[in-house]
Amino acid sequence: MGVFEDIVQQSSRKRDSFGGVLERRREKRTPMLRASQGSMTSSLWELEMIPAFGLTRLLDDIHDLNTRATDSNIFFEPDILHAAWPRLTSLLAQEGCWMLCLWESVDTRRILKFFAPVHVAKTGLPRHRVLQILSNEYMPIGTPLIDTASAGETCETLLRLLSDPALGMPSVFDIMHLRQDSKANSVLQEAASSLGLPFRECCTFKRAALLASKDPKATIAGLLGPKRRRELRRQMKLLKAKGEVSFSIAKSEDQALDAFEEFITLELKGWKGRRGTALYNHKRIAAFSRQIVAHLAARNACQFHSIYLDGKIVATLIMFERNGRLIPWKMAFDEAYAAYSPGMQTMLFATKNLLSRKTFIEADSLAQNNHWMMNRIWPDRIAITNLLIGLKSDTLEELEGACRAKYNRQMLKNLWNKWVGKLRLR
């Protein structure tokens, strides 16, 4: 949960300042890279690494690939990509990034077969240089878009072309935040094995999720422990004693845009406003967020689950939806009502609503491992892994070094999160 929750802390450099001018110059200097190969079926495969500022011309092809992909990734959908890039390039990929595209040309048709934003990163402890799909704690789904019809051939061709020395790419390809049960994970591993390339899964963990239930009432009754449920009921009773409590779900475009402005105001009044990390304090992040909400709400894919007291907003949760699959994006609450657990109350309200829907399939919390709230309220788990692939057959040692480095960093991060979680539960 909390995608882009802390990213605004990194945006101390204003876009229109001298530093911003340097950022734009760096983006323009990021070169477009190409590699190609023919095939026995007389088709031509072309790999293009297109700088972020060239994204606009790809949007229609990405939209088409989304309808054919082995797995979905809401962060790689055209609306969200168009809102994020290149507006947030300097925040998400400070050294610049490319849109990694693999095309197959047959006769006069040119079809996008693989897509993912990538950047060259130094990862782990000690640092190792890798080519990394752009996924982090702010966008924690790194599943690439792969054409279902020729997934195996697509992945084999991709790995061959990425190893072209002319591209100058690192020898390890790092696919972060990949669902372990995804088709993309299995087909990439099969392709690497077929080509004799080393690969490893590392830093695998399970994060909270909510799956559709055949017996929603029983699932709802089993959420949290009996003691915690009693406490939440007591707190809600005390809140209702202060006035009329109402629950609302905003789905239409007009409702969602109004609810988003309520959210920004609510967030600004809280600790994020005091720390200067609220959306309101950062124009680029706020503009990006408004654009996402507007685009998704127009497709009925953005929802606001909110609690009101006498018509005044107490807490709100923004959720994105795609084909029955949802993710919680951001949450804010009025700290004046902190004693009534407004965040937990809102999440419980949203959870009950999701389980009651016939079209609901699953919700991915996007939370970190052992998240202090989501692990308590959502009972299911999905396995998330990092898949590292050596782009040459002799890169096993370098691959294992990168795995160890990522593991060291993850262990330190887990210890920190565990310590913070204990403090919050006190």
Within this chain, do residues 187 and 223 fall inside the same structural domain, yes or no?
no
H or E element, residue 359: none
Within this chain, do residues 170 and 260 fall inside the same structural domain, yes or no?
no
What does the pLDDT read at residue 216? 87
Pairwise CA distance, residues 216 & 348, whole Å: 13
Within this chain, do residues 151 and 124 fall inside the same structural domain, yes or no?
yes
* pLDDT 10s digits, 18-30: 344 434 444 445 6
CB count in 10 Å sphere of residue 252: 13
Within this chain, do residues 192 and 285 fall inside the same structural domain, yes or no?
no
Q: Look at residues 220, 179, 166, 155 and name the one whose alpha carbon lies nearest to residue 360.
A: 220
What does the pLDDT read at residue 211? 95
Count how many domains the chain has.
2
What does the pLDDT read at residue 87? 64
> Which residue numbers in the chain have pLDDT < 50?
1-28
Residue span of the structural domain in which 339 resides:
213-360
User: In degrees to the nearest 10, what's the CA dihedral of 71, 370, 130, 193?
Assistant: -50
Question: Hey, which residues does 363 pair with through a beta bridge?
Answer: 210, 326
Give CA 4 to chain center in angstroms.
9
What does the pLDDT read at residue 21? 43
What does the pLDDT read at residue 135? 85
Within this chain, do residues 319 and 217 fall inside the same structural domain, yes or no?
yes
Within this chain, do residues 237 and 173 fall inside the same structural domain, yes or no?
no
Within this chain, do residues 260 and 301 fall inside the same structural domain, yes or no?
yes
End-to-end CA distance of the chain, in Å? 21
**Residue 375 forms part of a structural domain:** no
Do 86 and 25 touch, CB atoms closer than 8 A? no
H or E element, residue 78: helix 78-84
